[in-house]
Amino acid sequence: MSTVALKDVTKIWPDGTVAVDRVSLDVEDGEFMVLLGPSGCGKSTILRMIAGLEDPTAGAILLNGEPVMDLAPRDRRIAMVFQDFALYPHMSVGDNIGFPLKLSGVEPGPRGERIGDVASALGIGDVLARKPGQLSGGQRQRVAMGRAIVRRPGLFLMDEPLSNLDSGLRAELRAEITGLTRELGVTTMYVTHDQAEALTMADRVAIMRKGVLQDLGTPTEVYGRPATLYVAAFLGAPRMNLLEASVYVHLDRYIALNLGEQALYLPWNDIRARAISHYHGERIVVGMRAEALTPVAPDTPGDVLQGRIRYLEHHGHESLAFLDIGATAVVVDELGKAVTDTGAGTGALRRIGGALQRLTKRPDKAVPERDDPEKTSVLSDPGRHHRRPAELAVRLAPYPAVSPGHPLAISVRMDALHFFDERGDRIDIGWR
């Protein structure tokens, strides 16, 4: 049995930089937990604190329900796999794998058996006599994994172990790592910035931004019902279309979502209608993924948007068309701040970023106080910014018989829309 619990863990570097901000997280026995986020979001720092390589500024870390702050790294029954493999270049593959056993005093006979078993399972049994410099990148990563597995730890910590490999090898090793950890039943915490790794490997995904835990759930939950605008924009390829909409309620009939020159109509009997109705006369953000949009004939009845193709992207198996529908785009930058740098007029949202930290709580006395994130969530002043037209990403067949400037009608699945308030919080029940 091996469980991990983080209780309001904070890490502040000596220069005052907040690397991890009041993160609470529970990892169950045998679970494959992925920490996902861009560089500098604090995910690797969390792993290093769990391993004992860094001390938290505040909060508690528990392994199997017991505090580990006073335990040395070697006493935590943890194996860590690093991004750069961290192999000993002067040792053979076999000696690299067996080094933890040698340090633990395991006799040469049993040690050799365990090395052979692990190497065979990882498909590197024929290179045990070679040095790391004679191996490919994929083989070196397998050696690093073998050195971790041979210890039979209670917890695996993997810090972007595949980021230095080519895409084909990453896909192959993703399947191997997932299968092996589940076969061994070892609790695993895996750090990555690659959403494909997170969504394909994880039992649950914890999404980080600037040290703050933004969302936590299964891959289906965080993709289909993102908690914040940041998560919605971060997950998915192509990115979710995020549009500014003005809300007008027609009681017992429908809710009109005005997207600039066009509108969508949410039926009053839709389960989300009452939540959206509280924003009558206000602006919200409407999110729609490419899979919620279908090209149709121009005269098709129902919820249909008309637009013109601005440009096309061809990906072999499909093409992406980007439509100008006369709406205003909401842009989420790499820091998670949502802005519409789009326009003169009263409808432009300039900044939604502060509330994307809604999961942040006021720190305790051991941690210096920081700015209230609510204060950074403001509406733009009318007329201060140039409008940026929304470019609605729509999936088409490979190499379609259309070109830039071509008109296109798009049917919208209303049940697949996502809604966020002006501060970036989800305000509906999302994907159904």
Q: In CATH, what is the architecture of 4-225?
A: 3-Layer(aba) Sandwich (3.40)
The answer to whether residue 312 scores a pLDDT higher than 50 is yes
Distance CA 99, CA 97 (A): 6
Model confidence over 181-216: pLDDT tens digits? 888 888 999 999 999 899 999 999 999 999 999 999
* Cα R_g (the chain), whole angstroms: 25
Q: Using 50, 70 and 90 to split pLDDT, how confident is the model at 258?
A: very high
Task: Work out the burial of residue 386: count CB atoms within 10 Å of its CB; fewer than 13 is exposed, 13-18 middle, 19 or more buried.
Answer: exposed
Per-domain boundaries in the chain: 4-225, 234-420
Cis peptide upstream of residue 238 (ω within 30 degrees of 0): yes
Confidence of residue 387 (pLDDT cuts 50, 70, 90): low
d(CA 111, CA 99): 9
Total-model pTM: 0.80
pLDDT tier for residue 377 given thresholds of 50, 70 and 90: very low
DSSP secondary structure string, 194-218? -HHHHHHH-SEEEEEETTEEEEEE-
Calculate the alpha carbon distances from 213 to 23, 253, 333, 371 in Å: 6, 39, 17, 17
Q: How many Å apart are CA 175 and CA 155, to the nearest integer?
A: 19
pLDDT tens for each residue of 329-369:
887 764 445 444 433 333 333 333 333 333 333 334 344 44
Q: What is the DSSP letter of 380?
A: P
